[in-house]
Amino acid sequence: MRMSKYLLNTLKEVPREAETLSHQLMLRSCMIKKVAAGIYTYMPMGYRVIRKIEAIIREELNREGCIELLMPAVQPAELWQESKRWDFYGKELLRFKDRKGADFCLGPTHEEVITDVVRRELKSYRQLPLNLYQIQTKFRDEIRPRYGLMRGREFIMKDAYSFDVDDQASEKSYWSMYHAYARIFHRCGLKFRAVEADSGAIGGSYTHEFHVLADTGEDTVLSCTHCEYTANIEKAECRKPESVEHGDFLETEKRETPGKKSVEEVAEFLGVQPENLIKTMIFVAEDGTPVAVLVRGDHEVNEVKVRNFLGLNALELADEETIRAATGGPSGFSGPVGLNIRILADYAVREMENAVTGANEKDMHWLNVNPERDFKVSEYGDFRLAEEGEQCPRCEEGRYEQFKGIEVGQVFRLGTKYSESMDCRFLDENGKEKPAVMGCYGIGVGRTAAAAIEQNNDENGIIWPVNIAPFDVMILNLDVRDEDVSIAARTIEEKLEEMSFEVLYDDRDVRAGFKFKDADLIGLPLQVIVGKRGLKEGVVEVKVRRTGDREKVAPAEVPRKVVELLNSLKEQEEQRR
RNA sequence: CGGGGAGUGGCGCAGUCUGGUAGCGCACCUGCCUUGGGAGCAGGGGGUCGGAGGUUCAAAUCCUCUCUCCCCGACCA
């Protein structure tokens, strides 16, 4: 491709709207253009990357026996009413009416449609397993779209849905997708982790998220240094503390702590360590029932764990008024002593001795409070956030290591939620009717591209992994008006294209420095630099974008060199962990 | 939705407080000159200052309403 004929206007300055690096670089390298909040045009350069990622996804899914189809973006309300999600889904679902006044929505996901498709076709267990996928544009009316493709409202997603005869078969489908995903992200040249995650309100036994590791990621992932255990911080289990021998319980004592509310303030004021405090958080369930959650002063409550333990969809921190009603005191001075609501306590609290707690009274705390002696706990459990450096809950040797990640994919077991509500059944070998057991599997295509940039860049721009780079090689003609240089550059272009490499040939009549800057910004894996200076010595330069290494080779040697360098880059990238 | 900020050529910004008929850098076009890391000089095109209404002899600037975008938060299979 001749750059002089291509649509690629790079920006030297950073557009104000761009916060994250990948967003900035995508705008500067003319990959995307914003049309409205969270809605983008994929410009030629950006679309090439999208297509590369899609191709890898297709290959790996087809290898697993998945079948591609394409469902509509616009979906009728009836299907969503049937699955009960029309009312449940919330404002993220963009709804509208057609000219006849019938309700429709833009599909944020396709469980309903796929279940409808399959129930019409599925008759016998002989047709299973079945795994159908599509790559398509989805729409979720996010409250706050941001970071470019990282969190758009309209986005390209690969979604797959598996249908199986029973749980066991469904699990097999699940793991086959899990492994396909691992191959996909490896091939994309990304460092990633498959992490155990919270399965959320949708229910389901377990789920893995695939996170690309990047410091700018929005999610926190904890991974054991020794064993395989890796989990989203929302889910990461805490090791149950060793039971300790309880010794001398001291007499409780009420002490004035004027204006001291936070753990730090109280601990400092009383001259004790934060881990000697019991932090009492008051939450309210969906139905308005208050619940107290107790954790050690230096720990944080994990709301997801609490919510799941209680089997709730929603759980909120109580407001001042609710706290007063539930405890009799103002916020900041809550404590379990004499409290008459349900009390959940983290395991670590059970091991505490002579602790400090709020007294449910303004400016007052209790000293020497002991669980069971001074208050009753309804249930003990794992209710806190795990932290980096803690001992792994699954093995003896390892400790938690913390990463920031960008969620690019998820594999999820749906069970029979949709097949039952929407009547997607088949006859088993005994002629008995059964609902299909389903799974769903998503990959954010645009987000994968953005994550790749977050993970692969330097101060000069993007460094594309070979397999998803928009082109393989950039040729820089530094002296377009010099006949010999141009002939040499064109010859190299033709040769490489004959070998089916994708080549971007910078034949623009601009200064050399301009081309170098653009080439680094765009970030193709290799640059072939053809200039008067080198040609005089009979050489051109081949530069590796990632390392900056340059090698002088004879023009005729370029194809061989390109093959060699691309292969070695590819190999390195696919091995990255 | 709550809190904060911003809308002025394609991009980045100044001008707004103190009203006087729009400016700078980048990008773009022409020419000269230059040519290995975003050159220089000269000339040029492009903006009803987000929109509507109002005040005024006069509004980018003051007032009212409205739309959009960005940041923080809550939200998020």
Predicted confidence (pLDDT) at residue A387 exceeds the cutoff of 70: yes
Q: What is the pLDDT of residue A204?
A: 55
Same domain, yes or no: A441 and A489: no
Q: Which domain holds residue A291?
A: 253-381
Taking the C1' atom of every nucleotide in all shown strands and the CA of A34, the nearest one is B69
Same domain, yes or no: A73 and A120: yes
Q: Which of A391, A421, A454 is the last residue of a domain?
A: A454
pTM: 0.91
3-state SS, residue A272: coil
In a domain? residue A241: no
What does chain A come to in residues?
577
Q: What is the band of A205 on the pLDDT scale with cuts at 50, 70, 90? A: low
| Contact call for residues A280 and A357 (beta carbons, < 8 A) | yes
Predicted confidence (pLDDT) at residue A198 exceeds the cutoff of 80: no
In this complex, which residue's CA is closest to the C1' atom of nucleotide B35? A511
Q: Among candidates A47, A46, A146, A137, which has minimal Cα distance to A94? A: A137
Same domain, yes or no: A177 and A54: yes
Same domain, yes or no: A45 and A171: yes
Of all residues in chain A, the percent with pLDDT exceeding 70 is 99
Taking the C1' atom of every nucleotide in all shown strands and the CA of A441, the nearest one is B77
Same domain, yes or no: A444 and A563: no
In a domain? residue A475: yes
Nucleic acid strand B: bases within 7 A of protein CB: 1, 11-13, 25-27, 34-39, 68-77
Q: Which of A454, A487, A515 is the last residue of a domain?
A: A454
3-state secondary structure A342-358: EEEEEHHHHCCCCEEEE
In a domain? residue A50: yes
Considering its fold, how many domains does chain A have in total? 3
In a domain? residue A120: yes
Same domain, yes or no: A25 and A135: yes
In this complex, which residue's CA is closest to the C1' atom of nucleotide B39? A511
Same domain, yes or no: A428 and A506: no
Same domain, yes or no: A371 and A419: no
- CA of A573 and C1' of B28: distance in angstroms? 40
Question: Burial of A323 by CB count in 10 Å (0-12 exposed, 13-18 middle, 19+ buried)?
Answer: buried
In a domain? residue A394: no
The bridge status of strand A355-358 relative to strand A364-369 is antiparallel
- CA of A143 and C1' of B76: distance in angstroms? 9
Taking the C1' atom of every nucleotide in all shown strands and the CA of A201, the nearest one is B77
In a domain? residue A163: yes
- CA of A316 and C1' of B66: distance in angstroms? 35
Same domain, yes or no: A347 and A432: no
| Contact call for residues A381 and A375 (beta carbons, < 8 A) | no
Predicted confidence (pLDDT) at residue A202 exceeds the cutoff of 70: no
**ipTM score of complex:** 0.91
Q: What is the band of A569 on the pLDDT scale with cuts at 50, 70, 90? A: very high
Give the integer Cα–Cα distance in Å for A115 and A171: 19
**Cα–Cα distance list, A186 to A97, A273, A404 (Å):** 43, 46, 18
Predicted confidence (pLDDT) at residue A216 exceeds the cutoff of 90: no
Give residues with Cβ within 8 angstroms of A5, minimum separation 6.
Answer: none
In a domain? residue A459: no
Predicted confidence (pLDDT) at residue A4 exceeds the cutoff of 80: yes
Predicted confidence (pLDDT) at residue A139 exceeds the cutoff of 80: yes
Taking the C1' atom of every nucleotide in all shown strands and the CA of A535, the nearest one is B36
CATH number of A73's domain: 3.30.930.10
| Contact call for residues A570 and A576 (beta carbons, < 8 A) | no
Angle between helices A558-575 and A483-498 (to 10 degrees): 50
| Contact call for residues A546 and A569 (beta carbons, < 8 A) | yes
Give the integer Cα–Cα distance in Å for A503 and A471: 6
Q: Which of A343, A361, A381 is the last residue of a domain?
A: A381
Q: What is the band of A515 on the pLDDT scale with cuts at 50, 70, 90? A: very high
CATH number of A267's domain: 3.90.960.10
Taking the C1' atom of every nucleotide in all shown strands and the CA of A531, the nearest one is B36
In a domain? residue A540: yes
CATH number of A533's domain: 3.40.50.800
Rounded to 5 degrees, what are φ and ψ at A350?
Answer: -60, -30
Same domain, yes or no: A326 and A285: yes
Same domain, yes or no: A477 and A433: no
- CA of A146 and C1' of B70: distance in angstroms? 9
Q: What is the band of A555 on the pLDDT scale with cuts at 50, 70, 90? A: very high
Taking the C1' atom of every nucleotide in all shown strands and the CA of A202, the nearest one is B77
Q: Among candidates A444, A543, A412, A432, which has minimal Cα distance to A137? A: A444
pLDDT digits (tens, 9 = 90+) for A439-481: 999 999 999 999 999 999 999 999 999 999 999 999 999 999 9
Cα dihedral A46, A48, A51, A55, rounded to 10, equals -130
Give residues with Cβ within 8 angstroms of A341, minimum separation 6.
Answer: A282, A289, A290, A291, A292, A326
Predicted confidence (pLDDT) at residue A12 exceeds the cutoff of 70: yes
Same domain, yes or no: A118 and A47: yes
Give residues with Cβ within 8 angstroms of A64, minimum separation 6.
Answer: A131, A176, A177, A179, A180
Question: What sections of A158-302 are H helices per DSSP?
Answer: 167-187, 263-270
- CA of A37 and C1' of B69: distance in angstroms? 8
Interval A255-281 mean pLDDT: 90
- CA of A86 and C1' of B1: distance in angstroms? 21
Q: What is the band of A307 on the pLDDT scale with cuts at 50, 70, 90? A: confident
Edge-to-edge strands, sheet with A342-346? A315-317, A278-285, A290-296, A342-346, A379-381
User: How does DSSP classify residue A467?
Assistant: G
- CA of A74 and C1' of B27: distance in angstroms? 40
Give the integer Cα–Cα distance in Å for A53 and A72: 22
